[in-house]
C-alpha cells in the first residue's frame, strides 16, 4: 500500500496515469475512494494522486484532538505534493477537500498550478450554526461508525446522494463505513467550529506566472494578471 510520511503521520494515497499532476482531496466524511468512478478517465491525461486526509481511510488517524485542524490538513497536502515531486499540481477538492485546496492555493500558491473547487464554500457566515453541525457530526461518530452512517442519511447534503438509488446508497455506506469513527469525530471537533468565518479573499489572489484558469486553459495562455475571481474559478 503506498504511504508517505508527512508532518509526523503517514498518509495513504493512490496514483494512476502519467502527465501533469492532478491531486484529488476528498469530502467529509468519506475518503479517497469517492474518486474511484473518475480515476480512469482522469488518468488518461494526468498523473492522478488521490489521498486519504488524516483521520480518514487508510491514513493515520491520531487519537489526540490537537492533531486535527484545517491548518494541519493544508500542511499535509503541501507536504504530500512536495514529497511526491508533484509540485506544482492541479488540485481538485470536494466540500471539505475543496476548503483544504482553497487554503493551500492561498497559502502556498507555488504548489498549485490550477484549482478546482467543487461544492465548496469559503467558510461559514453563521459560526453558531456551523459549530452546532460540527458537534452533531462528532456526537454521531462517537456512537460508532454504523450509528454515524444512520445519521448521515438523514442530513440533507448526504441524503440527496443516497436517495438517488440503491447503488448510490450502497456506495455511500461503503465509503462511510471505511472510515475510523474517532477520525470523523476529531476532524469535526477540530474544524475551528466556534470561530470559523468566511475567508476574506484579497483583491488579487497570489498566483503563479503559469497557473491555469478556465480562460487560460481554453486559450493555452494564462491571463497576465489574475483577479481573485479568475484565480478561484472552476477550471473546465
Q: Is the per-residue pLDDT at 226 higher than 50?
A: no
Residue labelled with grid coordinates 465509503: 175
pLDDT digits (tens, 9 = 90+) for 144-160: 999 999 999 999 888 89
- Cell numbers of 109, please? 500558491
Name residues whose C-beta falls within 8 Å of residue 99's C-beta, 6 or more positions apart in sequence.
70, 93, 120, 121, 122, 123
> Using an 8 Å Cβ cutoff, are 94 and 25 in contact?
yes
- Identify each DSSP E strand in 52-99 by its residue range: 89-94
Query: Can you tell me the distance from the alpha carbon of 148 to that of 186, in angstroms, rounded to the nearest whole number?
Result: 13
Query: Within a domain: residue 235?
Result: no
Number of domains in the chain: 1
Query: Can you tell me the distance from the alpha carbon of 181 to that of 179, in angstroms, rounded to the nearest whole number?
Result: 6
Lowest-pLDDT choice from 113-127, 177-191, 221-235? 221-235
Q: What is the mean pLDDT of residues 70-89?
A: 97
Q: Is the per-residue pLDDT at 104 higher than 90?
A: yes
What is the predicted pLDDT for the residue at 236? 32
Q: What is the mean pLDDT of residues 185-190?
A: 94
> Using an 8 Å Cβ cutoff, are 69 and 189 in contact?
no
Band of the pLDDT at 193, cuts 50, 70, 90?
very low
Query: Within a domain: residue 68?
Result: yes
Q: What is the mean pLDDT of residues 152-172?
A: 91
Q: Is the per-residue pLDDT at 175 higher than 60?
A: yes
Q: Is the per-residue pLDDT at 194 higher than 80?
A: no
Query: Can you tell me the distance from the alpha carbon of 154 to that of 161, in angstroms, rounded to the nearest whole number?
Result: 11
Percentage of the chain exceeding pLDDT 90: 69
Query: Can you tell me the distance from the alpha carbon of 14 to that of 148, in angstroms, rounded to the nearest whole number?
Result: 26
Band of the pLDDT at 90, cuts 50, 70, 90?
very high
CA atoms 146, 14, 28, 94: torsion sign: negative
Tell whether pTM > 0.85: no
Tell me the average pLDDT of the chain: 84
Q: What is the mean pLDDT of residues 90-108?
A: 95
Query: Within a domain: residue 95?
Result: yes
Query: Within a domain: residue 117?
Result: yes
pLDDT digits (tens, 9 = 90+) for 118-153: 988 766 677 788 888 899 999 999 999 999 999 999
**Burial of 135: CB neighbours in 10 Å, binned 0-12, 13-18, 19+:** middle
Q: Is the per-residue pLDDT at 25 higher than 50?
A: yes
Query: Within a domain: residue 207?
Result: no
Q: Domain of 51: which CATH number?
A: 3.40.50.1820
pLDDT digits (tens, 9 = 90+) for 38-57: 999 999 999 999 999 999 99
Expressed as residue numbers, the domain containing 17 is 3-200
Phi, psi of 5 (to 5 degrees): -85, 125
What CA–CA distances, in Å, run from 37 to 26, 42, 171? 13, 10, 11
Query: Within a domain: residue 152?
Result: yes
Look at phi and psi of residue 62 and say left if phi exceeds 0, alpha if psi is from -120 to 50, else beta: beta
> Using an 8 Å Cβ cutoff, are 112 and 232 in contact?
no
What is the predicted pLDDT for the residue at 156? 87
Amino acid at each position: 500500500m503506498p504511504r508517505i510520511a508527512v508532518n509526523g503521520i503517514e498518509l495513504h494515497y493512490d496514483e494512476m496515469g502519467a502527465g501533469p499532476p492532478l491531486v484529488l482531496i476528498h469530502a467529509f466524511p468519506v475518503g479517497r475512494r469517492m474518486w474511484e468512478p473518475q480515476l480512469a478517465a482522469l488518468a488518461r491525461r494526468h498523473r492522478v494522486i488521490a489521498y486519504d486526509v488524516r483521520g480518514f481511510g487508510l491514513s493515520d488517524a491520531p487519537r489526540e484532538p490537537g492533531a486535527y485542524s484545517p491548518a494541519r490538513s493544508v500542511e499535509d497536502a503541501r507536504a504530500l505534493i512536495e514529497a511526491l515531486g508533484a509540485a506544482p499540481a492541479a488540485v481538485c477538492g470536494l466540500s471539505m477537500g475543496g476548503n483544504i485546496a482553497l487554503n493551500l492555493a492561498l497559502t502556498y500558491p507555488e504548489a498549485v498550478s490550477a484549482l478546482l473547487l467543487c461544492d465548496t464554500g469559503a467558510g461559514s457566515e453563521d459560526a453558531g450554526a456551523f459549530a452546532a453541525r460540527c458537534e452533531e457530526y462528532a456526537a454521531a461518530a462517537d456512537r460508532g461508525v454504523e450509528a454515524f452512517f444512520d445519521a448521515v442519511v438523514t442530513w440533507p447534503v448526504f441524503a440527496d446522494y443516497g436517495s438517488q438509488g440503491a447503488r448510490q446508497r450502497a456506495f455511500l455506506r461503503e465509503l462511510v463505513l471505511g472510515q475510523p469513527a474517532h477520525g470523523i469525530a476529531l476532524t469535526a471537533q477540530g474544524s475551528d467550529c466556534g470561530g470559523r468565518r468566511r475567508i476574506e479573499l484579497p483583491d488579487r489572489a497570489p498566483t503563479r506566472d503559469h497557473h491555469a484558469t478556465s480562460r487560460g486553459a481554453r486559450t493555452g495562455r494564462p491571463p497576465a494578471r489574475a483577479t481573485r475571481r479568475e484565480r478561484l474559478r472552476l477550471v473546465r
